[in-house]
Amino acid sequence: MTTQILHKRRHTLVHYLPGLALTALITGLALWAGAIPAVSATGFSALTLAILGGMVIGNTIYPRLWHPCDAGVLFAKQHLLRLGIILYGFRLTFAQIADVGASGLLIDILTLSSTFFLACWLGKNVFRLDRETSWLIGAGSSICGAAAILATEPVIKAQASKVTVAVATVVIFGTLAIFLYPIMWPWLNAFFSPETYGVYMGSTMHEVAQVVAAGHAVSPEAENAAVIAKMLRVMMLAPFLLFLAARVKQLAPAGDGKRSAITIPWFAILFILVAVFNSFHLLPQKAVDALVLLDTVLLAMAMAALGITTHLSALKKAGVRPLLMALTLFFWLIAGGGAINVVVHRLMA
């Protein structure tokens, strides 16, 4: 909470420069290391290296750099990520989005709904968690990680401590997924093409940033499909919140009747619009290449910021039961989400 208050009070460019410079430094090193053949051959892309570098800095020297760098790091994590996702549209065309099509949309709907309802059942019957914590972890696991949790908070009027626990759990397992999914690819390529594996990643991984990093480590085709599938999933946040608001009202009919604000993920919608614009090839190829390079830098800076703010102490704050519930949902996303992907692709092939 203190971090958010400080961030809101800082408005001048000077306050953002130290944190942006730190993420830019990590990005430069990651881009340099990612271009080394021996490194790239291991599957560690520049985006993955950026988040790893950020995690090393965040858990070692960053506490001494926190005060001057916090505003810029949060700016990179939040705003540069969204701008990077919007510009990612210049890597795609409408034809590629259409390739994900009805099967990708159906996969997202089935994965989202099954994960959230499983979270509700597990929280109540297995892990004995309160409803708000179960819903927050379920929203983060089923839609888009911390962003979904923060968007769900005002709808269900959750306490700040429960939000912190939920965010910690999805960050932990979402970060693990960045490295796990590329490792699984050689073992699962008998069931998936690069494009369908990308849909699998986009429909089951937690954060947008994590999907970008994991997809980038597999292949360009997987990365493109993963981002499209993830954006379709992110755009389901608004109807999900409307459903949740109606459910809250149903469970508490004696409430004050005030309507909670619904967060619309505009960056996901803009991403689709940019991809549609790019489909008409209105810009010179050199301009598109420059925008793609800028996009890579912005995404890497966002990865670095995400790594910096991922602290190992989050394990202690999360507690055992929320962590076990998030772990169970993580296994469901990998196994159950994988099964949903395979079945839907085969039925709609």
- The 3-state DSSP composition of the chain as helix, strand, coil percent (nearest 5) reads 80, 0, 20
Kindly tell me if the per-residue pLDDT of 179 is higher than 60.
Answer: yes
* The pLDDT of residue 2: 42
d(CA 152, CA 148): 6
Helices (H), 35-159: 37-40, 46-58, 62-75, 81-87, 94-125, 131-139, 146-156
Kindly tell me if the per-residue pLDDT of 181 is higher than 50.
Answer: yes
Which tens digit of pLDDT belongs to each residue from 89-131?
Answer: 898 777 777 777 789 999 999 999 999 999 999 999 999 999 9
Q: What is the mean pLDDT of residues 151-169?
A: 81
Q: What is the mean pLDDT of residues 175-191?
A: 92
pTM beyond 0.85: the answer is no
* The pLDDT of residue 7: 47
Q: Residue 142 contacts by C-beta under 8 Å, 6 or more apart in sequence? A: 111, 112, 113, 115, 116, 119, 148, 329
Kindly tell me if the per-residue pLDDT of 37 is higher than 50.
Answer: yes
CB 119 within 8 A of CB 329: yes
Looking at beta carbons, which pairs linking 339-344 to residues 24 or more positions away fall under 8 Å? 340/107, 340/110, 340/111, 340/114, 340/203, 341/107, 341/192, 341/196, 341/199, 341/200, 341/203, 341/204, 342/191, 342/192, 344/103, 344/106, 344/107, 344/110
* The pLDDT of residue 57: 94
* The pLDDT of residue 182: 93
d(CA 273, CA 279): 10
